[in-house]
Each structure stands twice: as structure tokens, then as C-alpha cells.
Amino acid sequence: MNPTSTPAGLSTERRVPGFGGFNRTLLGIEIKRRLRNRRTLVFTIAFPVIMLIAFGSQYKDTPIDPTFPVSSGGTSVTAFIMINMAVYGAMLASTSAGGAVAIERAQGWSRQLRLTPLTPAANIAVKIIGGLAVGLLAVLGTFAAGIVLGVRMELHIWILAGLTAWLGSLVFTALGLLAGYLVPSENVMQFMGPVLAFLAFFGGLFQPLKTMAPALQRIGVWTPTYGLGEIARAPLTGDAFNWAAAGNVLLWLTLFSTGAALAFRRDTKRV
């Protein structure tokens, strides 16, 4: 028999399982790995809570609407700060997906995965969902701290603001993945930390954008944090839906996703 020939009935075609190999077991392992990373949990969950307590507690008796005091059922400024910190916590958690990708690349794990039926797209999907899982904890933790501080809002405001902060953080998942494929693993989170703080400040999460200098306001409205923050706070403030803010979020999501896809394609060609 020719040693290079294939026995009858034996296929050499590599079969990819359904969903590219994505499964609950792999997802469970990824989420457990995220939850065991104490540094990430402290940074993404405890830090926004600490910020809320430090800056929000002093405004718990200050109403957003001066004609409707907190003692009469009005909503305090603490609620405004709480939503901002929930957005910030979800941002931090989602961006950490890029750090996980960068570490796997540096350790050669990406090359090992190429030997398995798991497709690169399915692996990225696991990272994204893992980041969203931690992001949900960040939002829930911040909201729980808000309740302890006395924040009272209508149920639909809690739900809409929480969902926007959580799902809107996909913009920063795309940003984290882009950084994960471009920045060396030992520097990715050190690089992203200041970037996120910069975006949070100029996007109005640390202080209202309207209180800044006009030049800074003109810069701030172009940041992805501005758009996401405006949409998340709208149920609380009662403002009409801001289509410009929605366009801002969609624009940055498209840019970051496209950049991450191109960087991902370039990286997999080298594996």
C-alpha cells in the first residue's frame, strides 16, 4: 500500500463542530477564570463602588430637580453618579477581554487553539461573553451600592439604565480586543487603564460635561463614553432620546470592531 494513500472510507477533511466549537463548557471555564482573577474583580467591580461611595454619598440629599426634594420622593444626584459609575465599571470589565487575548497570544495558547476544532471567531465570542458576565457584576454591584446609599428610582429606570450600561459596553469590548491584538501583553492593561480614565473624564462620567471649559466640551462630545453615558442617563433625567449620542456609539462600535477584525485577521495569518 502506498504510504501516502488514504484508506478507503477514511476522510481527511477536518470537520468543525457546530457554532465553531462554541459550547457551554468552554464558556463556563472562561467565566470561572475571570472570577478567579482577583485583581480584575477588584479593579472592575470594587473601584466603581468606591468611587460612588466617595463622591456620591455627599449628594444623597441633593435632588436632581430642585422643585422635588429627596424627602418628598425626588431622585438624588447620587443616582446620576451611580449610573455614571455603572457605565465606567462595565467599560473596565469589557475591556479586560483584550487583556485576556493578549496574554494568550504571548503564551502561545492562540497557536495551540489552532490545532483544535475551535474556530478563532468562537474563541473571541467566548472572550466577549466572559467580559459581559463580569460587566454585569460591575453594574449590579454599583447599583447595590446605590441602594445602600439611599438611591430610589422607578423600576423601568433601573432596568433601562442598567441594560444600557451593560450592553453598551460592547463598544469597549471591541476597543479592548483591538488593543489586545496590537499592544504587547505585558503592556495592554497598563495602556488601557489611562485610556479609559481619559475617556471617562472627557466623556462626562467623572463630572458633568457642561461644567467643563467650552473647548473640552467640544472634545468630549466625540468620545464614545459621552454617547453611552447620555443614553444610560436619559431614563433618569427624562431627556428625549438623543439620536446624536446613539450615532456616536454606533460610529465608535463600527470603528473599533473593524479595527479589531483587521488586527485579528493579521494575527491569525501569523499563527
Neighbours of 50 (CB within 10 A): 13
Residue 224 to residue 208: CA distance in whole angstroms: 15
Residues 188 and 98: beta-carbon distance below 8 Å: yes
**What is the rounded (10 degree) CA torsion for 39, 42, 47, 49?**
170
- From CA 233, how far away is CA 205, in angstroms rounded? 10
Quickly tell me which residue has 468543525 as its cell.
Answer: 16
Residue 20's identity, in one-letter code, is G
Neighbours of 37 (CB within 10 A): 15
pLDDT average per 10 residues of sequence, the chain (271 residues): 52 58 78 79 86 89 75 80 94 80 72 70 79 89 93 93 93 87 71 87 89 89 93 89 91 89 72 52
Q: At what angle do helices 77-107 and 224-237 cross, to 10 degrees?
A: 150
Q: Which cell numbers in the block locate residue 228?
A: 453611552
Q: Provide the pLDDT for residue 19.
A: 60
At 187 the pLDDT is 67
Residue corresponding to grid cell 436619559: 234
Q: What angle do CA 44, 45, 51 make, to 5 degrees?
A: 95
The C-alpha cell 465606567 sits at 88
Gap between the terminal Cα atoms of the chain: 35
Domain residue ranges of the chain, discontinuous segments joined by +: 21-270
> How far apart are alpha carbons 90 and 86 in whole angstroms?
6
* Angstrom distance (rounded) from CA 94 to CA 111: 24
